[in-house]
Chains A and B, each alone.
Chain A
Amino acid sequence: MNVYVADALFLAASLAYLAATFLFSRILLGTSRAPAWLGSRLIALGASLQGVHVIVWSLVLHACPVKGIHFPMSVFAVILCVAYLSMRTRYRIDVVGAFVAPLALTSLLASRFVGGGTQMVDQAPRLKSALLPVHVAANLVGIALFSLAFGAATLYLVQEHLLKAKRIEGLFQRLPPLDALDRAEHRFLLAGFPLLTIGILIGTLWARQVEMGGAADILRAAFGYLTWLLIAGVLLLRAAAGWRGRRAAYGTIAGFGFAMLVLILYLLREANPGAHGHVAGMP
């Protein structure tokens, strides 16, 4: 019975994210005069439904939501939406929902369909550690904040391009103020960076404990460190040399790109679990 309820919640959350994606696309294209907060409400609805879905599945599977990668992908979407919803009014970045909604939808769908089945994730005993949930949780929240920074940075670049091109009608009017985007991007990076640092430190420690050393693990770790270095560089250059605006936005986008690569590598590992002692599974 609970499985059906969870499926219904999954479907409803997906539809809410889809509707938000559709609405934000139309707002940005200028084909809808609907206010951006309406899209934010749809994201809130989707996140609420997905939150309940995560709880129901946790109960059904008796699983920790931050173990493995599939289930955390779903949790990531919820964290992303919550972070967005709690910051959107403060920074006047409703339109960043145009990134949040499709990303949340993708994460939700990936959590179910990429490399998955309907079985429970079962980690190899040698990989079990109390550090793992902390590593995953820190990284999830960190990447969620970087995702918001990415959205703000992308919109900043669009807005900045329009302003430099002196095209101050249409899309320019629908996007948030330039400085608000720059400020939001910086704050999201600042908030996400310590979490990423914790995630990487714990990840390194854990990898040593379980003696990981395959090529995929090294590649994943390398991208993780590169992400950290990029974000650290962006923050440092901004503080020390006044790198803001366009340069900071490019750095943020690159950092987010590497973070996403790490996430994708995790997902791919789950799709090919044999080599890593995992059993593919999906809530």
Chain B
Amino acid sequence: MIVVVGVSHKTAPIEVREKLSVGADVLPEVLARLSKRSELKEVMFLSTCNRVEVLADTSSDSGQAALRAIREGLAELVGDSPEHLEGYLYDKSGHDAVRHIFRVAASLDSMVLGEPQILGQVKDAYDAAVAAGTLRNFLGRCVHRAFTVAKRVRTETALGAGTVSISSVAVDLARKIFGDLSDHTVLLVGAGEMAEAAARSLGKGARSIRVCNRSVERAAHLAAQFGGGAAPLDKLEEELLLSDVVVTSTGSRTFVVTREMVKRVMKARRGRTLFFIDIAVPRNVDPEIHTKIDNCYVYNVDDLETEVAFGLKARQNEVAAAEKIVGEELAEFESWARGLNVSPTIVALRAKTKAVLQAELERTLAGRLKHLTEGDRAALQQMMDSSVNKLLHAPTTRLKIAASQEDGADLVRAAVHLFDLPEGPPPEIEKAPRDSPQGADDAHADDDDRLH
């Protein structure tokens, strides 16, 4: 049974989410720790700006033990007791969990409905789990199916069309503060995918764009695309002096922009307005700057949610179409999952039948028919294979049909009992499909920025 435990922008404020978030560098360790728990057969960890979720497959029928194990694991992660997280965590199991995974991948549960980044982030989490060896047949297939759902939603609906992105909302807000941006400089702190998206939105109207990043090469590469300048992260204070709108999106776990730093900067700026858009989780900008320093404004992803919610109302029809796709794919997945139970039975039935007949054939060929030529022996072998196929065609088909139905398990159990069959091996796991060379590679940059 698949289970999901997590927090999202709907259930927990950014202060809680940032404590639970896990960077790519420590993800393998976290996965290894979770997978050691006996209740969890497979584990995947999804950590984005707006959600932190543990997806798992459990052998337990009720899933309660697995849910408890994950809650304990998350509490360990933040060094807290599970009770303290209780008010923020949600959990789902079975049918609901699978539906949730599909909806998340299809961006139906995102703050910015229909935004495309979430799929890349789910794929990254999937690849990380495969690499860590914590994802195998069942949960792996489920997440893989979620990629198909996301792709269908994107191609068959207009959910992503005209998306109100965090970047576009931030640009609107910057315009409500500064009016015309043509006299103002935009500073990007971090040079990942979201920084690039922000640069694309803000770059249209701004006087200039500067990029400040731990890796200057990456900063220079991004800045060059927008005709801007680059600087290393240790020159941030100097850069803040020259800038008016600052977009932060680094993967740092501590504040990159501190209150003391901004105090010094504001003195040197002679009080000129400074607007921070902090789209990183954990946050990069000390929130006290907003409350304690005049003419400084700090907005994080949660603050922009209200504005973004308008996009949701405008796309309700598309949501309905997307939910229909989720429903269809969910039904197919569940049918496949039920079929998964019958596959070992069919494989075992065929193997047993073939083994029995093969043994009889070999015994006969070694006795009464030992005078046969190689050609005659091959013909006999072919005849036997063909007979096995014809004989088992009807039972195989009926078992498959039965498996796709709710009560098909009875027939499978009967076949196992009648032929005294063992369980079969699990199917192989697949790699996450990639639509473009972008995505995971960008997201793995040293100053990775993540939304969703």
- The interface of chain A, by Cβ under 8 A from chain B, is 92, 163-164, 166, 168-169, 172-173, 176-180, 182, 241-247
**Of the 9-residue stretches B114-122, B266-274, B336-344, B434-442, which lies at the interface with chain A?**
B266-274
Report B288-312 CB contacts with A as 1/0, cut-off 8 Å.
0011001101010001001100000
A169 close to B271 (CB less than 8 A):
no
In this assembly, does B177 line the interface, its C-beta being within 8 Å of a C-beta of chain A? yes
Minimum Cβ distance to chain B for residue A238 (Å): 8
Question: B178 near A: Cβ within 8 Å?
Answer: yes
Within 8 Å CB of A243, what residues of B? 271
Known contacts A164-B291, A166-B299, A168-B173; decide if A179 and B307 are in contact (CB<8 Å): no
Taking a contact as CB atoms under 8 Å apart, the answer to whether B294 and A245 are in contact is yes
- A169-B306, A177-B176, A245-B295 known, 10 other contacts, Cβ within 8 Å: A163-B297, A164-B291, A176-B179, A179-B273, A180-B179, A241-B270, A242-B266, A242-B272, A246-B294, A247-B294
Q: Is the CB of B306 within 8 A of A168?
A: yes
Of all chain B residues, the one with the shortest Cβ separation from A176 is B179
B295 and A168 form a contact (CB under 8 A): no
Q: Which 10 A-B pairs have the closest CB atoms?
A: A242-B270, A242-B271, A177-B179, A244-B271, A180-B179, A245-B295, A178-B177, A179-B178, A166-B303, A177-B176
Contact between A178 and B273 (Cβ–Cβ < 8 Å)?
yes
Q: Which residues of B contact A169 (CB under 8 A)?
A: 306-307
In the assembled complex, 29 residue pairs joining A and B whose CB atoms fall closer than 8 Å, in A order, are A92-B179, A163-B177, A163-B297, A164-B297, A166-B299, A168-B176, A168-B303, A168-B306, A169-B307, A176-B179, A177-B177, A177-B178, A177-B179, A178-B176, A178-B177, A178-B273, A179-B179, A179-B273, A182-B273, A241-B270, A242-B267, A242-B269, A242-B270, A242-B271, A244-B271, A244-B295, A245-B273, A245-B295, A247-B294
**Which B residues form the contact surface with A (CB < 8 A)?**
173, 175-179, 266-267, 269-273, 290-291, 294-295, 297, 299, 303, 306-307
Q: In the complex, what residues of A have CB within 8 A of residue B297's CB? A: 163-164
A-B contact count (CB 8 A): 52
Give the chain A neighbours of B303 by CB distance below 8 A: 166, 168
By a CB distance below 8 angstroms, the chain A residues around B269 are 242
Closest residue of B by beta carbon distance from A91: B179
CB-CB < 8 A to A163: which residues of B? 177, 297
A168 near B307 with CB under 8 A, answer yes
How many angstroms from the CA of A178 to the CA of B303 in the assembled complex?
Answer: 18
Give the CA-CA distance A163 to B177 in the complex, in Å. Answer: 9
- On chain A, the residues within 8 Å of B294 by CB distance are 245-247
CA distance A238 to B175 in the complex (A): 23
Which residues of the partner chain A approach B173 to less than 8 Å between Cβ atoms? 168
Contacts of A179 in B (CB 8 A): 177-179, 273
